[in-house]
Structure 1
Amino acid sequence: METSVLITFIVLAVVLVGLVGTLLVSGRKLTPKKTRRLYPETRDADDQPPGAAEGEDGDTLVADRPAAEAPEAAVEAPEAEAEAAPAVETPEPVASRLARLRARLVKSNNVFGKSLLALLSRDEIDEDVWEEIEETLLMADLGTDSTMELVDTLRERVTVEGSKDPQRVRAMLHEELVKLIDPEFDRRLTVTADGRPAVVLVVGVNGVGKTTTVGKLARVLVAEDKDVILGAADTFRAAAAEQLTTWGSRVGVPTVSSDVEGADPASVAYDAVDKGTELETDVVLVDTAGRLQNKANLMDELGKVKRVVEKKSEVDEVLLVLDATTGQNGLNQAKVFSEAVNVTGIVLTKLDGTARGGIVVAIQKQLGVPVKLIGLGEGPDDLAPFDTESFVDALLED
């Protein structure tokens, strides 16, 4: 009897345990996995981070997959604030730049003009006076040939007219300087081409400000409503590409460069022209590495840059950047660069820091190439087209 009661008790216990287990399983099925969040709406210190998941036993496991693959609904990160776009500067119009730069040129070159006018206005202009005039012109880097030509012409005119009136003497000197600088040169930049971008190659020795000039020139062209793209083919100077990119971004101009330091500059220049063609831009400005004119291998490399670019497009301008303060040394640079890449125009920088305005005459006379642009300061808009009449006016301004 006792045995049968014991057996009955055991059977009832087994049935009861099974019933409880069934209820537990049914309870889990009421909340399927796919309807549960990986973590609650409001997390506290004990909650698991995003990317966690439950195991079959209900424990939390760190997911093997990247957090980025977690369901979007499970992540409620705050919206990232949009980065403010860099402000694009509006370059100063050409006309106002010319007026301001002329005033700066007057300030730096008035000693030159005043010296000549004082000498030519003396009551008696003897041989000693003419020698002083000649010396003044030579010191202004006018060049020997141009100096002798100007002195001979002035001697003749002063003798024939016999005038000592300062205004008349100034008018004579103005006329002869304009003739020397030669207003017949075509000083316009070739920045228009049919069916393709105009290509401008900028060259020069180290330290004359080529990259800065390219940036300033981009501003000039943007002010003239030109679409421009820059090519950072100076691949050897640290941060040259970054510097050029900064100049371009200030006026909304893109820059093509290489991520590899010391990359082939010809390849970068070619890519810039190729990109300019693809984007149908008006002008491609290519910055090149500075090089000494007496290094034959570097000059050969510069020639290669031009040849490679010409496989894609004609090079419309080769602008040689010269530092006006270097004087006659600039003439030697100009000659070598012209032989290597056929220079079409001169950019004369730092003209506000010298009274040697005569370098304009000397360069043009030796190369037969016009000065097209002048730089007169450190500001972003301190680059302007060269104008003969304005330049001579500034030289002789009271």
Structure 2
Amino acid sequence: MVVVIAVLAVGGLFLFRPRGKGLPPVEAPPEPQIPDLRVPPQEGPVDREGGTTTTLPPPEEELLKAPEIEVPPPSAGRMVRLRTRLSRSQNVLGRGLLELLSRDRLDDDVWDEIEETLITADVGVAPTRAMVEELRTKVKVLGTRTPDEVRGLLKEELLKQISPDLDRTLRTSSHAGRPAVLLVVGVNGTGKTTTTGKLARALVGDGNKVVLGAADTFRAAATDQLQTWGDRVGAAVVRGPEGGDPASVAFDAVARGIEESADTVIIDTAGRLHTKTGLMDELGKVKRVIEKKAVVDEVLLVLDATTGQNGMRQAQVFAEAVNITGIALTKLDGTAKGGIVISVQRELGVPVKLVGLGEGPDDLAPFDPEVFVDALLGD
């Protein structure tokens, strides 16, 4: 009995022993803070313990802030300002002719050199022969020649070939309650979209309200590029879906220009391969569709001045598709040969109205024949 009572007593102690407290609940670790990778953190000033503080990125509203609109300079006087750049690349022609004509004896070999110099400068065969014939006659009459007289002869003859009497006015002002409409055409790679953007910039600098039509729907990069040009100067850009109908985009751009009382609507078309008849027909369609809404005041053909006589063939094919009213010569500051100005005008009877003299946004200038010839001949 004693043993049984002892066992029961020990068991009771274990049975009624007070229980210990349970383990505390496990807390979930805090979620890691993921930094906004769109804007890198900026290191702030050093704190008292030698560390640096981190500046928080700007709020999302600032990230989406529209670009600041630029105020371009006016187009007047641009070619005079760019004359030095032009003369650096073109003085081979001018100085070469001056040197040849200044020789004491002008025999047939010298005249052949003069003719070769002009043809090499892309003046063209027919204009070259006309110039050489005229110069030979004047030299015979003049007899002895001073450097100033030679320069005067060349300047007079070059100006005559460039035809300073051609109307080079660019029609960009609204009329009859509708904006002026400019259609920009040309082969891929000539700088057509860039020229469109630079022209819009120049017109905004002259105080015009401009609407741009991105009718090159087959090349997304062209549309985005034109949008960038428009955003920089506050010009509205009308664009369509990639691969969409260019004529529809052109029509909408003109409608937008009328609605917003714009001064000028500039339509950038797709770069046409002059060997593709179908694309040329489509260019004619774009022009016809625009004319349902407004008059097409200018059709500007953009030519790369460095392509020389190949550019002449492009010009002739485009002139058959649409009525070209003016030429914009790009890259005239590089390796271009200035004689292309003479040959393209002589072949088409269309004036060069704009020249690109560099890669800067304000390097598109109205063409001035006298400034151009002075740049050819140097000071």
Matches within 5 A, 1:308-323: 308-323=289-304
Q: Measure the CA separation in 2 of the matches of 1:261 and 1:80.
A: 29
> Which secondary structure state, in structure 2, belongs to the residue aligned with residue 114 of structure 1?
helix
Q: Measure the CA separation in 2 of the matches of 1:81 and 1:100.
A: 41
**Which protein shows a greater Rg?**
1
CA contact (8 A) 1:163 1:169 kept: no
**Structure 2 match to 1:250:** 232
RMSD: 1.6
CA contact (8 A) 2:75 2:203 kept: no
Q: 137-146 or 79-88: which moved more?
A: 79-88
Q: Measure the CA separation in 1 of the matches of 2:204 and 2:172.
A: 12
**Structure 1 match to 2:219:** 237
**Structure 2 match to 1:180:** 161
Of 296, 302, 307, the match for 2:283: 302
**Structure 1 match to 2:176:** 194
Q: Measure the CA separation in 2 of the matches of 1:328 and 1:311.
A: 36
CA contact (8 A) 2:212 2:265 kept: yes
> Which secondary structure state, in structure 2, belongs to the residue aligned with residue 356 of structure 1?
coil
> Which secondary structure state, in structure 2, belongs to the residue aligned with residue 352 of structure 1?
coil
> Which secondary structure state, in structure 1, belongs to the residue aligned with residue 182 of structure 2?
strand
CA contact (8 A) 1:122 1:164 kept: no
**Structure 1 match to 2:22:** none
Shift of 1:91: 1.2
Q: Measure the CA separation in 1 of the matches of 2:309 and 2:274.
A: 14
**Structure 2 match to 1:396:** 377
Matches within 5 A, 1:253-292: 253-258=235-240, 260-292=241-273
Change (3 A) 1:277 1:109: same
Q: Measure the CA separation in 2 of the matches of 1:256 and 1:299.
A: 23
Structure 1 length-normalised TM? 0.79
Of 320, 341, 349, the match for 2:322: 341
1:211 equivalenced with 2:193 (yes/no): yes
Change (3 A) 1:80 1:134: closer
CA contact (8 A) 2:216 2:222 kept: yes
Tell me the amino acid that sits aligned with residue 360 of structure 2. G
> Which secondary structure state, in structure 1, belongs to the residue aligned with residue 82 of structure 2?
helix
Of 330, 339, 358, the match for 1:377: 358
Tell me the number of residue pairs that the alignment of Structure 1 and Structure 2 aligns. 322
Shift of 1:88: 1.1
| Structure 1: 4+ residue segments shifted above 3 A | 79-85
CA contact (8 A) 2:164 2:369 kept: yes
Of all paired residues, the percent bearing the same amino acid is: 64
The one-character-per-residue Cα deviations of 1:94-130 (angstroms, maximum 9, x if unpaired) are: 2453233211100000111110000000011111000
Tell me the amino acid that sits aligned with residue 165 of structure 2. E
Tell me the amino acid that sits aligned with residue 377 of structure 2. L
Of 61, 72, 85, the match for 1:104: 85
Shift of 1:369: 0.3
Change (3 A) 1:368 1:280: same
Q: Measure the CA separation in 2 of the matches of 1:290 and 1:80.
A: 39
The one-character-per-residue Cα deviations of 1:235-292 (angstroms, maximum 9, x if unpaired) are: 001221111010011011110001x210000000000001101111000000000011
Unaligned runs of 5+ residues in structure 2 are 1-29, 31-58
CA contact (8 A) 1:109 1:394 kept: yes
Q: Measure the CA separation in 2 of the matches of 1:303 and 1:355.
A: 30
**Structure 2 match to 1:142:** 123
Tell me the amino acid that sits aligned with residue 249 of structure 1. D
Unaligned runs of 5+ residues in structure 1 are 1-44, 46-78
Tell me the amino acid that sits aligned with residue 292 of structure 1. L
> Which secondary structure state, in structure 1, belongs to the residue aligned with residue 296 of structure 2?
coil
Tell me the amino acid that sits aligned with residue 324 of structure 2. V
Q: Measure the CA separation in 1 of the matches of 2:289 and 2:356.
A: 30
